C-alpha cells in the first residue's frame, strides 16, 4: 500500500517517436484529434482535461513553399488516463513508459517538449491541486 505522499506523485506517459506525423483532420476539433492521437499513438483512453498550451517547433517534413521553415504548432492537453489498451494501432512502432515529470523532462529530445512538461503541464497541475485543496 502506498502512503499519502506516493498517491500525490504525478506521472506522465511518454512514447517514442516514429516516422508518423500527428495532427488533426479537417472534420474534427483539436480536442477530438488529441483523444484520437492518444489512442492511436499511446494506446490509452481517458478524460481529456484542459488545454495546457500551444508550443511551436520546426519540422523538416512540414517544409514547403508556403512554410519554408517548417514551423508547426502543437496543442498540448492533459489526459487523465483511465485505460491502457493491450493492443493499439501504432504499438508495433511505439513504446510507452510512465515517468515522473522530472524523469520525462530528462528524456525529451526537443526543448519545446521539456518546456511543455515543466512550464505547461507541471504549472497546470499545480494550479489544479491548489484549486482542489
pLDDT at 105 over 60: yes
User: Given a cut of 90, is residue 131 above it in pLDDT?
Assistant: no
Residue 124 backbone zone (phi > 0: left; psi -120 to 50: alpha; other: beta): alpha
- pTM given for the model: 0.77
What is the pLDDT averaged over residues 113-132? 80
CA 36-114-23 angle, 5° bins? 25
For residue 1, the model assigns a pLDDT of 43
With pLDDT > 70 as the criterion, what percentage of the chain qualifies? 85
What CA–CA distance (Å, rounded) separates 37 from 43? 9
Structural domains of the chain, ranges and CATH numbers in brackets? 11-132 (3.90.79.10)
pLDDT in the model for residue 8: 65
Q: How far apart are CA 101 and CA 85, in angstroms?
A: 22
Q: What is the pLDDT of residues 51-93, one digit of tens each?
A: 888 988 887 776 777 777 778 888 889 899 999 999 999 999 9
Amino acid at each position: 500500500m502506498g502512503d499519502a505522499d506516493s498517491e500525490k506523485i504525478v506521472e506522465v506517459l511518454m512514447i517514442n517517436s516514429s516516422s508518423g506525423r500527428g495532427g488533426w483532420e479537417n472534420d474534427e476539433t483539436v480536442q477530438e484529434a488529441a483523444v484520437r492521437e492518444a489512442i492511436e499513438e499511446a494506446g490509452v483512453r481517458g478524460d481529456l482535461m484542459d488545454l495546457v498550451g500551444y508550443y511551436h517547433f520546426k519540422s523538416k517534413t512540414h517544409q514547403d513553399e508556403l512554410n519554408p521553415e517548417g514551423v508547426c504548432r502543437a496543442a498540448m492537453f492533459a489526459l487523465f488516463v483511465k485505460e491502457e489498451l493491450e493492443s493499439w494501432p501504432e504499438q508495433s512502432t511505439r513504446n510507452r513508459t510512465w515517468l515522473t515529470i522530472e524523469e520525462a523532462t530528462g528524456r525529451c529530445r526537443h526543448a519545446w517538449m521539456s518546456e511543455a512538461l515543466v512550464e505547461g503541464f507541471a504549472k497546470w497541475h499545480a494550479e489544479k491541486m491548489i484549486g482542489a485543496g
